[in-house]
Amino acid sequence: MDQEFRVRELMLGVEGMALLRHALDADEDFLKARVEEIRALVTGEGTALPDGGTPLDELDVADGYASWATRYDSLPSAYIEVEEPVVHRLLDRGPVGTALDAACGTGRQTAALAARGYRTIGVDQSPQMLAQARRKVPGAEFRRGRLESLPVDDESVDLVVCSLAMTHLPDVSPGIAELARVLRPGGRIILSDLHPFVISLQGQCVFVHGADQLAFVRNHVHLPGRYLDAFHSAGLTVRECHEPLFNDRLAPGGYEEAIADAARAAWKDLPLVVVWAAEKPGESQESAV
């Protein structure tokens, strides 16, 4: 089905969310400005819309990340910006051992693990992403495989990291069960994902695809209760849950810059990602030595 990137509708949604969240406590000038911007968008009296009408494709994970691979590290990401400090603090707690970066992408977390002294395995289903990761972290071992069927032996790693990937699975349970399977007793899992609030409100992460198109890989909403059920079913104990908030910075060049006041008000104090820290009960092999 042919789709277009509907910038006007997205901007109207952001304006409406800003009004919905602040109608009772904002000053009158702010509210009037939102109404005027909505009127301009509806009547077409405003400035030309960025990327309006650009063709938009929905790609599966393999095709999407094949297209995204060479651009992925160069694009600004509000999600990564708030996620990394939390994940890295958890990584710093150690102890250092063998680590798996599941759905490693271009090796962003693989590099962080290697820098901390972990013996690291990166797994991803995209050969294009793995090519970027191998260049970034030549000392790590990389394997091609899916998150739901990891090419890693049972109870063979001390730490599993999975960053911003579970959202592409319709159900988190198979993925979390696989993370638990490869983890040694006493080992840790650090799992980050897009927050369900963001996916529910904004939907998908759009990127440039080809010369004149945009694309997205579908994100699925996974509520906290589904994660907790999946952790429990996999025999894991949740130790921490972090929800870093929107940091007031908008993506440069994006449509929200044209309605910056509304966008900042709409996203203010909302969590962008969720970071889970869980453990597999029992004594790790390394600590038993």
Q: Break the chain into its structural domains and give their ranges.
A: 1-54, 58-247+271-278
pLDDT above 60: residue 287: no
Residue ranges of E strands in 210-288:
213-217, 237-242, 273-279
Q: Which of 10-19, 52-61, 106-115, 172-181 has the lowest mean pLDDT?
A: 52-61
Per-residue confidence (pLDDT) for residue 57, from 0 to 100? 83
pLDDT band for position 51 (cuts 50, 70, 90)? low
* Mean pLDDT across 1-25: 87
Concatenated DSSP letters of 155-211 = T-EEEEEEES-GGGSS-HHHHHHHHHHHEEEEEEEEEEEE-HHHHHHH----EEETT
- Residue with the bigger pLDDT between 177 and 73: it is 177
Give 48-98 as a DSSP string. Answer: PPTTTT-BEEEE-HHHHHHHHHHHHTTS--HHHHHHHHHHHHHHTT----E
Contact residues for 224 (Cβ-Cβ < 8 A; gap 6+): 196, 241, 274
Using the predicted structure, report yes or no on whether residue 191 has a pLDDT greater than 80. yes
Residue, of 148 and 65, whose pLDDT is higher: 148
Q: Which pTM was predicted?
A: 0.91
Per-residue confidence band for 46, with pLDDT thresholds at 50, 70 and 90:
low
Q: Would you tell me how many other CB atoms lie within 10 Å of the CB of residue 95? A: 12
| pLDDT of 288 above 50 | no
Task: Please give the residue that has the higher pLDDT: either 265 or 212.
Answer: 265
Overall CATH class of domain 58-247+271-278: alpha beta
Q: Is the pLDDT of residue 62 over 60?
A: yes
The position carrying tokens 């819309």 is 49
Give the span between the Cα atoms of 44 and 63, in whole angstroms. 36
Nearest in space to 146 (alpha carbons), one of 131, 127, 160, 159: 127
Instruction: Check residues 282 and 47 and name the one with the higher pLDDT.
Output: 282
Question: Of all residues in the chain, what percent carry a pLDDT higher than 90?
Answer: 69
What is the structure's pLDDT at 47?
62
What is the chain's mean pLDDT, rounded? 90
| pLDDT at 272 > cutoff 70 | yes
pLDDT tens, residue by residue, 224-241: 999 999 999 999 999 999
- In angstroms, rounded to a whole number, what is the distance separating the alpha carbons of residues 15 and 29? 14
Tell me: pLDDT of 190 over 60. yes
Predicted confidence at residue 139, as pLDDT, reads 94
Residue 61 has pLDDT above 90, yes or no: no
Instruction: Kindly indicate the confidence band of residue 7, based on its pLDDT and cuts at 50, 70 and 90.
Output: confident
- Cβ neighbourhood burial of 185 (10 Å; 0-12, 13-18, 19+): middle
pLDDT of 64: 84
Which of 74-78, 153-157, 212-216 reaches the highest mean pLDDT?
153-157
* Predicted pLDDT at 254: 80
Give the type of residue at 230.
Answer: A
